[in-house]
Amino acid sequence: MSKEKKRYIRYNPSFMKRVNDSTKTDWAAISVLAHEIGHHLLGHTLRHQESNPGDELAADRYSGFILFQMGATLEETLRCIEKEGDLHGTKTHPPRRARIDVISEGWKDAKRLKNKKITDFTPERSNIEETLKYTCSFVGDENTYYVNNVNQNGLV
């Protein structure tokens, strides 16, 4: 929500307590907050439009990713949406099953990333000219990213 060009996450402590009580885990409220932070980081709160299922799924995936990073098990990560998610979805939110799937994907993405070695992501400097086809950089990011012709990437 924007107000005077500032973005806020507002939450209802009673709702958070009810979610934690119904799921019997503190991870439930954390997943809700991670989901809302995901909306902010993904830029959804910069648009002045109603929420949509695609944005909700993206924020769900982010939530799953973050909960793994914070130490939640997959079961703990999913408990909130399993208990509180709408079975059939709504105009703005997808059905529970779709949300469970993307939260699981986010959690598993974080787990795979943790198990990778830095060398899995960074090409040898001597091979850059031979194997990498494209370079990419972003405003505000000092890194240069390289992509080869089979869509593997590296950070140099």
pLDDT, tens only, 47-60: 878 888 999 999 99
- The length of the chain in residues reads 156
Q: pLDDT band for 118, please (50, 70, 90 cuts).
A: low
* pLDDT tier at 45, thresholds 50, 70, 90: confident
* Average pLDDT for the chain: 83
Cα–Cα distance, 25 to 74 (Å, whole number) = 13
pLDDT at residue 6, rounded to an integer: 79
Backbone φ and ψ for 122, nearest 5 degrees, come out as -110, 120
Burial of 106 (0-12, 13-18, 19+ CB in 10 A): buried
DSSP assignment of 62-79 equals: HHHHHHHHHT--HHHHHH
78 to 3, 8, 108, 129: CA distances (angstroms)? 32, 25, 12, 44
Average pLDDT over residues 72-91: 95
Tokens standing for 100?
A: 């469970």
DSSP letter for each residue of 21-43: HHHTSTHHHHHHHHHHHHHHHTT
pLDDT of residue 11: 86
Predicted pLDDT of residue 156: 42
Tell me the two tokens of residue 42: 């993904």
Write the burial class of residue 137 (CB in 10 Å: 0-12 exposed, 13-18 middle, 19+ buried).
exposed
User: Is pLDDT larger for residue 64 or for residue 142?
Assistant: 64
Q: How far apart are CA 56 and CA 135, in angstroms?
A: 31
Residue 74 has pLDDT above 80, yes or no: yes
Of the ranges 8-17, 35-44, 90-99, 125-134, which one carries the lowest mean pLDDT score? 125-134
Please tell me which residue, 114 or 150, carries the higher pLDDT value: 114
144: pLDDT strictly greater than 50 = yes
Residue with tokens 């949406």: 81
Over residues 4-26, the mean pLDDT reads: 89
Residue 120 has pLDDT above 90, yes or no: no
